[in-house]
Amino acid sequence: MGRLVAVGLLGIALALLGERLLALRNRLKASREVESVDLPHCHLIKGIEAGSEDIDILPNGLAFFSVGLKFPGLHSFAPDKPGGILMMDLKEEKPRARELRISRGFDLASFNPHGISTFIDNDDTVYLFVVNHPEFKNTVEIFKFEEAENSLLHLKTVKHELLPRPFVSSHMLFFFFSVNDITAVGPAHFYATNDHYFSDPFLKYLETYLNLHWANVVYYSPNEVKVVAEGFDSANGINISPDDKYIYVADILAHEIHVLEKHTNMNLTQLKVLELDTLVDNLSIDPSSGDIWVGCHPNGQKLFVYDPNNPPSSEVLRIQNILSEKPTVTTVYANNGSVLQGSSVASVYDGKLLIGTLYHRALYCEL
């Protein structure tokens, strides 16, 4: 009788594991292939060879690139080279990427930049916020951009590890445990996404495998830190509407973009969810139209299990009128990996499109 019970429990466990594995493959879109959608006037950006995970563009056409991201188990074309911040002036006739100098005292050797965001203060001071993973930890770095010197002055490192957090609680005391992206809303104020609840790589994988939906969005100011939205499969890209009324969050493994209303106390209330058929990564906003441009991964399995003979593909979506009942979703660019592998961001400025990737090249296009 005992053996029958053991065999029965084993069968149930194997069935559960099989169901979770099948569900994970569906969430990764592991069987999806993409049909090419080409743009006629594009070229790869010289000097970006190992990823440009996020891009943010100032109103004057200066574009910042976050380059060289590394994670355990993630492919890298330059595993021993630290990350950096590059800049491109899109008003130049032939724009080129230049690396920005960072002030002395900042640890460049462990610089591992991820999501980025800019904020322009009332006195026209430009702040650059960078999600950083030094030694695969989680911090947010705040820089002042000094345009005349083409440099970044490091102002502050934000990390929040006051007390051990409880295993499951909506009132966490450890807020930055797996930071992915950031959107600045003040000179030292921002929203950030945690794409996992855990920091440990194995526990992250287990969390993803079990589909726990423990990812969240955090608000930070010098006086307050709080969770403002939760229940995401894997909260990824985040951005803010041009009128500052709404926060957009990409849930990459759920293939969704969440629209949340921002309140005066900086809390968020969900208004709607836009379902898509791809893994949505970073979100960029066209300030003139409010359109959302999305860097996407058509097949997540190819992204995380790298095969040079069958590389990850790229996809860029443009979403118009997201607040309407029927937003317009257009595939602007798609490639099977022959040109661009693992697109993570797409940003526009004055008829120009920049497409960055998780660990590959970057593309400059004229629309």
Within 10 angstroms of residue 342's Cβ, the number of other Cβ atoms is: 30
Question: Among candidates 45, 27, 109, 20, which has minimal Cα distance to 353?
Answer: 45
Annotated catalytic residue, options 75, 114, 133, 297: 114
What is the rounded end-to-end Cα distance, in angstroms, of the chain? Answer: 71
DSSP string covering 149-177, please?
A: GTEEEEEEEE--B-SPPPSS-SS-SB--S
Q: How far is Cα of residue 12 from the mean position of the Cα atoms in its chain?
A: 37
61 Cβ neighbours under 8 A, 6+ residues apart: 89, 90, 91, 349, 350
Q: Give alpha helix (H) positions in 101-257.
A: 201-210
Rounded to the nearest 5 percent, the helix, strand and coil shares of the chain are: 15, 45, 45
**Residue type, position 194, single letter:** N
Angstrom distances, CA of residue 71 to CA of 76, 102, 310, 311, 331? 9, 22, 21, 18, 29
User: What single-letter DSSP state applies at residue 62?
Assistant: E
Q: How far apart are CA 83 and CA 122, in angstroms?
A: 30
Within 10 angstroms of residue 337's Cβ, the number of other Cβ atoms is: 22
196 is catalytic: no
Residue with tokens 């709080």: 226
Enclosing H/E stretch for 19: helix 2-28
Angstrom distances, CA of residue 43 to CA of 107, 212, 298, 353, 363? 33, 41, 21, 11, 6
User: What single-letter DSSP state applies at residue 323?
Assistant: T
Catalytic residues: 114
